Structure 1
Amino acid sequence: MTLLYPSFLWFLIPLALLLWSSSRKLIHLVHLIILMLLVLSLARPVQEEALQEASIEAKDMIIALDVSYSMKATDISPTRYDFAKETITALLQANPGDNIMLIAFTTNPLLLSPPTTDHTLINIALENLNPEFILTKGTSLEKLFKRLSLMKTGHKNLILMTDGGEEENLDKLTTLVQNADISLTILGLGTTRGTTIENKDGSLLKDKDDNLVISRVNPLLETLASSVSGTYLTASNTVQATADEISDTLQKNENEAQHVQKMQRHYLELYQLPLGLALLLFFMVHTRAVKYLLILFTFLGVQAEASMLDNYHLNLAYKSYKASDLNETKKQIQQIKVRSLQSQMVLANTYYKQRAFKKAIQTYKSIRSTSPKIKQQLYYNIANAYAMLESYDKAKIYYTKALQLGEDPDAKHNLHLIALLSDQKSADLGIAHPKSQDSSSSKSESQEETKESKSEDEPSSGSGGGGESQTQKEQEKSKLLDAGNQEQHPLGSKVYELINKGYIREKQPW
């Protein structure tokens, strides 16, 4: 249980002082208790329930961040990359309700965060991106625009943060932007004079002919923005001023807000309990039907006590689950007399994290719901558990059931992997594992790269392929997390592999 407006509890202090110093007359004590119960009702006690999908109004935006080697240049303090990164953080704060997608690109673009209004997730993805692991040095706006044109999201508001690299074909870029239905806002990072780029060892970067590399902002960027009726901006003196300029530009475009789907937490209101108790006490004091009200109060009190105890244990179970104290979680769930959907889901997820997959499957199957979304979630979790048991045929069945209830990219991707694993199991060609829902921030790019990659049985989380020992296989299996796990992890090696794809064959690395 939690309070939505805990500030009202300050009113309990003067009431408590009155209760302590007042006369010992029963009616005075009862009146003070009634006032305390009313204050507690105003504080809005609630019980948190499961996340549910809701439709909200928000503008769709795509932020594309250039992470090529030239972004290490220091003509914009502290570096072009750091300045862009801090600008994105300020921009997220200025637009808290908008639906934002984050893409990092060099020679290859990669989705870091899918469209979301939860900007904490975007900041986590941004913080976990380490430029030191990026080997590609070039900048390809052409590949970025081609990838955006493949996204079936309708009109796109693109904020492009880059120094432009060595792009030269204006006509091709203009055509790609127009075909992709993009409203383009470019933040040009760098100066026209340019600067040298320092290596890790302190030496200056040189090309293959041993000449110093001078990195400048590409003048093509301003021309491109003009040719597609976009906006071209340069870095201001401060990060906040730059973010404000971008926000003002977006505001001037008067982009209409769209309805987007977002998972929101719903609450079970409990204010009726202290309010009802206050009313009962009032009528008991000021009416003659005391004995009847006392019977009613006793009956309601027993029911309320049982309900509140169940909610109390469920809340403790949630806390211990988040703290990875799984034994305590099961202990609290066992003390709940009336099992709810939430408590059963927590118990099943606990079994899953303890690798008791058979018990997890049994518990998932015992949950009954008429909600298609919840059923889809249950089928997906059951399929994941069967996959961990290497019961691939059963996993196929439940992934298929999940897909029959609605579109689910994770389930579709996992079904593809399970089909490969089922074929390869007898030949002992290696092992790969399906994504958990926590990896959804990179699922779109991973699916596309899987089609292009020769090693199609490798998941986007970066788990290894054939030739593993049994111990390594068990370690890789543990990476498949349950749907309720909200822990955040650094970007895996697969992310950098997708960014660095083809870096050896770069033709214009600067």
Structure 2
Amino acid sequence: MELDESKYLYLLFTVPLLVVLFLYNQYWKRKKHREFGDLELVKKLSPEKSVFKPILKLAVLLLALICLIFGLVNPKMGTKMETVKREGIDIVFAMDVSKSMLAEDVAPNRLDKSKQIVSQIINQLGSDRIGIVAYAGSAFPVLPITTDYSVAKMFLQSMNTDIVSSQGTSLDEAIKLSATYFDDKSKTSKLLILISDGEDHSEGAEDAAEEANKLGMKIIAVGIGTEKGSAIPLRINGVVESFKRDNNNEVVITKLNKEGLMTIANTTKGGYVNGNNTKEVIDYIKNTLDTIQKTEFESTQMANFQSQFQWFLGIAFFLLFIDIFFLERKTTWVKKLNLFNEKE
């Protein structure tokens, strides 16, 4: 059994509170009766008043309240088992988090644009497994292969240019680390979506792409930025204080290296797409996924949980209904039995 809205269980604390209020009310009534006169005389003035009925009414109301609370909690029980088969491919997103991705030639900036694109791609996926790699001067594993898209988006939004300490852009490191995410023995199709401005400060990106091709990986390169380029703003508390400069104190202009990214993608028989238009990227990725063979990579037994709230609500309303007919005077046949020694 699992509870859909367990937060409502805190309402159960109202049950003992109501019991305490009831006991206090009974004490207060008894105290007032003593002030009015002798208790035995007061009882004789209201001979039909039952001592047991108020307790019974309280018990019925509390039981109804408990059922209402469990109705809100919505307990679920597994009533049958289903075989769930998933078909898809393995996808790794390798995201450039170097300082050049802070350039604002693409709004709001290259890095935020990259996050938007990846998030939109994830929204289009069905049962594919995904992983995330961050890279700058070196590569860093952010999220291993998973089918939990909500967790992937959470990690995605937390990425920034400080996640990798060494600066620069090493596309070969990103490709090599991404390759480790895939199972060499698995027949599942392998796709690497490489998101970058293409400014590579290392050597060996083409060699890494060739090795990836031998492993059966396909690379789609998404170019973020403009060929005209832009300066890299340096912000303090969200305010641009200056721009990044080189050793000669010249403002660094970072540009999109479209050709480099295309070369890497073509090596693996993949493709290149301009990332400045999100819709264009999504359509391109979607069309590519439609052409890639899907593989069954998981078969599991899953309990099909069904809500049980209706039973608790039904019982609660029934108890509230019969409570209407519980009067506080003595019941004739119970009075004859004298269960509570109420006869004189």
Residue 227 in 1 paired to residue 267 in 2?
yes
Identity between Structure 1 and Structure 2 (%): 25
AA at the equivalent of 2:285? I
Matches within 5 A, 1:287-306: none
Listed as ranges, the gaps of 5+ residues in structure 1 are 4-43, 278-510
1:165 aligns with 2:238: no
Provide Cα deviations, 1:335-362, integer angstroms capped at 9, x if missing partner.
xxxxxxxxxxxxxxxxxxxxxxxxxxxx
| Partner Cα separation in structure 2 for residue 263 and residue 64 of structure 1 | 32
Match among 115, 121, 128 for residue 151 of structure 2: 121
Provide closer, same or farther for how the CA distance between residues 86 and 208 of structure 1 changes in structure 2, counting only shifts above 3 A: same
- Structure 1 residue 99, shift from structure 2 partner: 1.2
Check if 1:89 corresponds to 2:119.
yes
Residues 85-105 of structure 1: per-residue CA shift (max 9 Å, x gap): 011111111114221111111
User: Cα offset for 1:55?
Assistant: 4.7
- What secondary structure, in the 3-state scheme, does the structure 2 residue paired with 1:111 have? strand
Please list, as runs of the form range in 1=range in 2, the aligned pairs for 1:341-356 lying within 5 A after superposition. Answer: none
SS at match of 2:91: strand
Tell me, in whole angstroms, the C-alpha distance in 1 between the residues paired with 2:292 and 2:92: 16
Aligned to 1:200: 235
Contact kept, 8 Å, 2:133 with 2:174, in 1: the verdict is no
State the one-letter code of the partner of 2:99: Y
TM-score, scaled to structure 1: 0.41
Give secondary structure in 1 for the equivalent of 2:119.
helix
- Please give the secondary structure, in 2, of the residue aligned with 1:200: strand
C-alpha spacing 1:208/1:180, structure 2 compared with 1 (3 Å): farther
Q: 1:193 to 1:67 in 2, by over 3 A?
A: same
> Structure 1 residue aligned with 2:295, among 246, 253, 257?
257
Aligned ranges 1:376-455 → 2 under 5 Å: none
- Is contact 1:188–1:233 with CA below 8 Å preserved after alignment? yes
- Corresponding pairs, count: 232
Q: Distance in 2 between matches of 1:123 and 1:113?
A: 10
Q: What pairs with 1:416-495 in structure 2 (closer than 5 Å)?
A: none
TM-aligned CA deviation for residue 138 of structure 1? 0.9
Tell me which protein shows more helix as a share of its residues: 1
**What is the CA–CA distance in structure 1 between the aligned matches of 2:111 and 2:159, rounded to whole Å?**
11
How much has 1:244 moved relative to structure 2?
2.7
Query: CA 1:96/1:215 → structure 2, altered by over 3 Å: closer, same or farther?
Result: same
Report the CA distance between 1:108 and its aligned residue. 1.9
SS at match of 2:249: coil
Structure 2: how far apart are the matches of 1:101 and 1:94?
Answer: 15
Alignment partner, residue 156 of structure 1: 190
Cα deviation for residue 132 of structure 1 reads: 4.4
How far did residue 170 of structure 1 move?
A: 5.5
Give 5+ residue unaligned stretches, structure 2: 5-73, 316-344
Task: Please tell me the residue identity of whatever aligns with 1:157.
Answer: L
Q: 1:183 aligns to what SS in structure 2?
A: strand
Q: CA deviation at 1:65?
A: 0.9
Per-residue displacement from partner, 1:421-440 (whole Å, max 9, x unpaired)? xxxxxxxxxxxxxxxxxxxx
Question: What residue in structure 2 maps to residue 185 of structure 1?
Answer: 220
CA gap 1:165/1:53 in 2 versus in 1, 3 angstroms: farther
Secondary structure, counterpart of 1:165 in structure 2: coil
Determine helix, strand or coil for the equivalent of 2:92: strand
Q: Whose strand proportion is higher, 1 or 2? A: 2
Q: Which has the higher contact order (CA 8 A, sep 6+)?
A: 2
